Structure 1
Amino acid sequence: MTDAAALLPPPAPGRSLWQDARGRLVRNRAAVASLVVLALIALACLVGPLLTGHPYDKVYPDYVRLPAGLASHPRAEAVPAAVARIAARIRATAGDVSVENGIVRLALTAPRPIDPRLLVYFERSDQFGAARIVESGDDGRRLVVVVPVKSLRFLFGTDGNGRDLLTRTLMAGRVSLSIGLLATTVALLIGVTYGATAGYLGGRIDMVMMRAVDVLYALPFIFIAILLVVFLGRNIVLVFLAVGAVEWLDMARIVRGQTLSIKRRDYVLAAEALGVPTRGILTRHVIPNTLGPVIVQVTLLVPKVILLESFLSFLGLGVQEPMTSWGALISDGARAIEAAPWLLTVPAGFLVTTLFALNFLGDGLRDALDPTER
């Protein structure tokens, strides 16, 4: 008997719900691709502003509403006009303008001697560096100067204030994704705990807890946001508080509905019969089995939170200048869509891509976490 038992193959190791879910998620190509896209967007928003070469709040008055493109600025054909404008401020006339290897050579003439200190106007511009006098004549009324050209690139163009749109879009992504993730996390923690407790305890406790949810539903969201601004002032933390204080209500209702059906399952009844405390039943049996609908709701809640933040910023209650968010950039771009369509398409492209990726990832997580698929 012992020899026969020794010949039997060892029992196969068991697999947990999380192991099965991970395997099904990896086989879902759309979900994996969406996860990669989200990771790339998050990495670009985190590291990108350090690599663009433009501070997010730097204003370039000479490059207002510049279209997107790969060419460097200023372009060669624009240099003579730019030099003429600066010469006019010096009260001189620019002539013999030539550009070679990024260096502009020109002659400044004026009816009276030119003060060399006025050449600082070249350095103060966004297009040129510090000017250097190489020749002087006519008692200072004629100066030959050389000026280096500042080569700047704006891959996504500039906004109405002359700020680099790529840098601002990536910085806006930091704000929007942070608000979406943190506010959703707050709503997730409060809503899951509240809904699971109400659904499992049932009876009068459930009734009282859900009536409190109904009362909070009756309060307008914008009213709560304005109250927080009045009492606490304007800062980005208010966005987390205002959104997190409202968005957990939907999560609580979803989790309560799932809990009402789960608490009648045999494994929950068996745990109750064995004397497992209520906290243990909630954390080990009820909440893990509600994760499928919860994850799907989370993937829908993140873009909803981003849109709510955009609404608050549009009203002046959210992110304040010079900081920005995708919603604020889209609002600015919508007002200038005819004159500068890239101001709308660039941040909207980032937002739409993020929303699609979140939706595909949510569908994949829903299928992977469905216990009936084991």
Structure 2
Amino acid sequence: MTEAVAGRSLLLSALLRLARNRAAIASAVVLALYVVAGIVGPMVWLHDYRTVYANYVKVPASLTPYPRAEEILPGAAAALRRARLTVENVTVVGDTATITVHAARPIDPRVTRYLDRSDLFADARLVSLADDALSATFAADVARHTFLVGTDANGRDLAARILISIRISLMIAALATGVALVIGVLYGATAGFLGGRIDNLMMRVVDVLYSLPFVFFVILLVVFFGRNVVLMFIAVGAVEWLDMARIVRGQTLSLSRREFVQAAEALGVPPGAILRRHIIPNVSGPVIVFMTLLVPKVILLESFLSFLGLGVQEPLTSLGVLIAEGARNMRNAPWMLIYPSAALTLLLFALNFLGDGLRDAFDPRDR
């Protein structure tokens, strides 16, 4: 007796086809790295994305820690100038700076706080004070800071800002795309399968929603939901489903005339089961491709809303906001545009390649 051969499920077959697509697998790895960077990166990075380094505004990327040797003397002079002290000499041995100063009036030992407030020094202390208190020697640890991709116009570490922006952009894209996917697929498949007057009525509702001014609608969402980013972009996803619904409806109208759907209807299969088992799986290819286009669309939409003051608010940021800031400073700080743009470009390439691979893997005609 011939032994029965175990069959493969449709999902397993699709995953095996996907595994043979090297570009899709590489893109999936890149996206996984983005997710890990967005979740873990801000918590383990050298700098906090909210910390402002007033002494390091728009400094370029460097593997060498700041401050440079030639910056220590001007930095000490600027910090102690507020205490009306004149810096005579600064000597640096290792990571300890010895600062000699004099003044026209007695020096208060508490002026070390001016050095501690500077980003260049830490743990400042009085070493010696002259008998007339008009000259003194201070010692302070040189605070070393490494900015691998430079700082922004406010003196914040750009790498930390990129990591938190990846988290925010991916979160916004996932929420909005997920909501648009669920609503659009169910709505479009139902309208296309039922057809007739119900289809006509449901599509007229879509046309009415298309006619609403988007910015006005978003302002209403902000009024109702406040500045909560999560709730607002869930609501934005509830608007972005319109294109998804039209695409799915068109595919469903084509599929509803196919033999396997008519056979299921003749056998008495309920409409809900036909939608779930025959219609929706067969529209997965176009839906996945559209999802890969919707994710960057949502990211760009978020940057537009943030530019209007309706999206992500400080101290949070996103890739769109960073690129907009970099464009304004590209003449004197090109790294503010280059690195966020490279991060967004790599993300979009990965999404497109993965979307193509998923489309090919889940295409029913390739089964």
Q: TM-score band, normalised by the shorter chain?
A: over 0.9
Give the percent of matched residue pairs that are identical in Structure 1 and Structure 2. Answer: 60
Partner secondary structure for residue 139 of structure 1: coil
- Distance in 2, matches of 1:106 and 1:244, equals 59
Ranges of 4+ aligned residues in structure 1 off by more than 3 Å:
none
Q: Tell me by how many angstroms 1:25 deviates.
A: 0.5
Paired AA for residue 225 in structure 1: V
- Distance in 2, matches of 1:102 and 1:232, equals 51
Q: Say if 2:81 is the partner of 1:81.
A: no
The normalised TM-score by structure 2 is: 0.97
Of 277, 283, 307, the match for 2:276:
283
Partner secondary structure for residue 73 of structure 1: coil
Deviation digits for residues 106-151 of structure 1, max 9, x if unmatched? 2111222100111110111111012122222232212112110111
User: Contact 1:310 / 1:327 at 8 angstroms: preserved in 2?
Assistant: yes
- Distance in 1, matches of 2:235 and 2:336, equals 28
Aligned to 2:286: 293
Q: Tell me by how many angstroms 1:159 deviates.
A: 0.7
Partner secondary structure for residue 115 of structure 2: helix
User: Contact 1:17 / 1:371 at 8 angstroms: preserved in 2?
Assistant: no
Paired AA for residue 216 in structure 1: L
Deviation digits for residues 346-372 of structure 1, max 9, x if unmatched? 111111110010000011111111111
User: Contact 1:235 / 1:320 at 8 angstroms: preserved in 2?
Assistant: no
- Distance in 2, matches of 1:15 and 1:255, equals 27
User: Contact 1:188 / 1:251 at 8 angstroms: preserved in 2?
Assistant: yes
Aligned to 2:184: 191
- Distance in 2, matches of 1:19 and 1:52, equals 38
Q: Say if 2:123 is the partner of 1:125.
A: no
Paired AA for residue 172 in structure 1: S
Aligned to 2:132: 139
- Distance in 2, matches of 1:332 and 1:368, equals 39
- Distance in 2, matches of 1:371 and 1:11, equals 25
Q: Tell me by how many angstroms 1:84 deviates.
A: 1.5
- Distance in 1, matches of 2:355 and 2:234, equals 25
Deviation digits for residues 142-197 of structure 1, max 9, x if unmatched? 21121101111111111111111111111111111101011000000000000010
User: Contact 2:222 / 2:232 at 8 angstroms: preserved in 1?
Assistant: no
Deviation digits for residues 224-249 of structure 1, max 9, x if unmatched? 11122234333313541442132101
- Distance in 1, matches of 2:304 and 2:58, equals 24
User: Contact 1:224 / 1:242 at 8 angstroms: preserved in 2?
Assistant: no
Of 354, 364, 368, the match for 2:361:
368
Q: Tell me by how many angstroms 1:41 deviates.
A: 1.3
Q: Say if 2:256 is the partner of 1:263.
A: yes
Aligned to 1:3: none
- Distance in 1, matches of 2:90 and 2:14, equals 69
**RMSD after superposition:** 1.3
* Worse-superposed segment, 229-238 or 188-197: 229-238
- Distance in 2, matches of 1:97 and 1:307, equals 49
How many residues are treated as equivalent by the alignment? 367
- Distance in 2, matches of 1:240 and 1:201, equals 30
Aligned to 1:235: 228
Deviation digits for residues 32-83 of structure 1, max 9, x if unmatched? 0011011111111111112222111111111111111111011112111111
- Distance in 1, matches of 2:295 and 2:180, equals 10
> In structure 2, do the counterparts of structure 1 residues 239 and 342 end up closer, same or farther at CA, with 3 Å as the change threshold?
farther
Q: Say if 2:318 is the partner of 1:345.
A: no
User: Contact 1:179 / 1:239 at 8 angstroms: preserved in 2?
Assistant: no
- Distance in 1, matches of 2:131 and 2:321, equals 55
Aligned to 2:243: 250
Partner secondary structure for residue 307 of structure 1: helix
Of 22, 45, 48, the match for 1:55:
48
- Distance in 1, matches of 2:231 and 2:303, equals 13
The normalised TM-score by structure 1 is: 0.95
- Distance in 2, matches of 1:235 and 1:67, equals 34
Paired AA for residue 284 in structure 2: L
Partner secondary structure for residue 246 of structure 1: coil
* Worse-superposed segment, 179-188 or 16-25: 16-25
Paired AA for residue 126 in structure 1: D
